[in-house]
Amino acid sequence: GAVVSQHPSRVICKSGTSVKIECRSLDFQATTMFWYRQFPKQSLMLMATSNEGSKATYEQGVEKDKFLINHASLTLSTLTVTSAHPEDSSFYICSARDPSTGLAGPQYFGPGTRLTVL
């Protein structure tokens, strides 16, 4: 299947700092990418839909000023957690669909980023 990479895989930062997470589609172009958040032993919750060349669409309850999303190219979306606090500690995972698989194709996921805010 298609490959989605994510970097970094693990980050530890101090409270108040900002952290940038990159999501890349390696062998296909993705006009849309998705960002999810997962707490331990829980499900994936959609945070936002990242659209290439336009503003991201955020889910209800997700602060757009706190979680900045930039989809500058067809293969790269970034999520920046601004002024991170301990409650932002979580597993962040991105995904994208390969358009060549058609509208019924699966979303492929990156390996995830484990963020720990001290």
Partner 1 sequence: AQKITQTQPGMFVQEKEAVTLDCTYDTSDQSYGLFWYKQPSSGEMIFLIYQGSYDEQNATEGRYSLNFQKARKSANLVISASQLGDSAMYFCAMREVLDQAGTALIFGKGTTLSVSS
Q: How far is residue 22's CA from residue 42's CA, in Å, rounded to a whole number?
A: 23
Q: What are phi and psi of 52, to 5 degrees?
A: -60, 125
Question: Which window, 18-26, 71-79, 81-89, 109-117, contacts partner 1 (CB under 8 A)?
Answer: 109-117
48 vs 117, beta carbon nearer partner 1: 48
Shortest distance, position 84 Cβ to partner 1, whole Å: 19
Q: Which two tokens stand for residue 89?
A: 């500690």
d(CA 48, CA 50): 6
Binding site for partner 1 (CB under 8 A): 1, 31-32, 34, 41-46, 49, 51, 91, 93, 95, 97, 99, 103-104, 106-109, 111-112, 114
